[in-house]
Amino acid sequence: MPNKIHCAHILVKTENEVKAVLERLKQGEKFATIAEEISLCPSGKRGGDLGTFSRGKMVREFEKAAFSLQKGQVSSPVKTKYGHHIIKRLE
């Protein structure tokens, strides 16, 4: 089990917005393009790239989802106190 992973995410406020993001991804839009356009997180400017992080650095729900992903995999919506996330594991 890895102790550090490299992920990107898209953060939006509402459940409807996160569903729209998933739809755009299904249509083949690039994750980074959507993140740059709509993510509420400052990481959006970097295509959602959060860099590498270790366990204990992110809120519990986010961390659990991120560490369960395989390289290149995109998560289902994850709700945290910050809003709704779609996470992509990069490395």
Number of folded domains that form the chain: 1
Q: What is the pLDDT of residue 2?
A: 72
Q: What is the pLDDT of residue 41?
A: 98
Q: What is the pLDDT of residue 1?
A: 61
Calpha distance 31→25 (Å, rounded): 7
Question: With left for phi above 0 and alpha for psi between -120 and 50, is residue 47 left, alpha or beta?
Answer: left
Read off the CATH number of the domain in which 84 is found: 3.10.50.40
Instruction: Provide the domain limits for residue 13.
Output: 4-89
pLDDT tens string 38-52: 999 999 999 999 999
- Please tell me the pTM assigned to this model: 0.95
Burial level of 8, CB count in 10 A (0-12/13-18/19+)?
A: buried
DSSP-derived 3-state class of residue 7: strand
CA angle in degrees (0–180, nearest 5) for 1-77-34:
105
